Structures are given as structure tokens and as C-alpha cells.
Amino acid sequence: MTAQTDTAGTVTTVYKVSGMSCGHCEGAVSSEISEITGVTSVQAVASSGEVTVVSTAPLDEEAVRAAVDEAGFDLVGEA
């Protein structure tokens, strides 16, 4: 699992998401995760299936799972 507290008081977490295959997929996942309270940045990469999320505090994995599910994909877990 990869979660680290950055020096600026933010938390960066990398998640694995299955099913992303293009830029549209990246945008859908990023958009849904961005709506979670405390999220300040999301970068989804379809080729690796990784989604890097920067937030003001650690996120509830179930909230991330629900957001990814809403976008039509499956959260595998933290990378």
C-alpha cells in the first residue's frame, strides 16, 4: 500500500483501478474521485491502471471505491 504524508500537510495515495483504457476513462475516474471531500488533485493513467490522489487527509477507501464504481470501473486497492 502506498500512502505518504507530504511536507505540505497533504496525503498522496496511489490506487490501482482495473478497466481504464483511454483518456475518456481517465477523465471519468478523475472526475468522480475529485468530488470526494478533501481531494485536491487526481491523476489517472490508463496505461498503468494507477490513480494518484492528493488529499488533505487520508481518504476512506470505501468512498474511493464508490467513486470509481460510479465511473464504471473497479478499484483493485492501493498500489
Tell me whether residue 77 is in a domain: no
- Would you say residue 78 lies in a domain? no
3-state secondary structure (DSSP) of residue 5: strand
In a domain, 37, yes or no: yes
pLDDT digits (tens, 9 = 90+) for 2-57: 556 565 789 999 999 999 999 999 999 999 999 999 999 999 999 999 999 999 99
pLDDT score of 7: 59
Q: Check residue 1 and give its pLDDT.
A: 43
Q: What share of the chain is helix, strand, coil (3-state, %, to 5)?
A: 30, 35, 35
Quick one: cell of 41?
Answer: 488533485
CATH number, domain containing residue 27 = 3.30.70.100
Question: What is the reported pLDDT for 39?
Answer: 97
Rounded Cα distance between 38 and 48, Å, is 25
Number of domains in the chain: 1
Q: pTM, whole model, 2 decimals?
A: 0.90
Please check whether residue 44 lies inside any domain of the structure: yes
Would you state the pLDDT for residue 8? Answer: 73
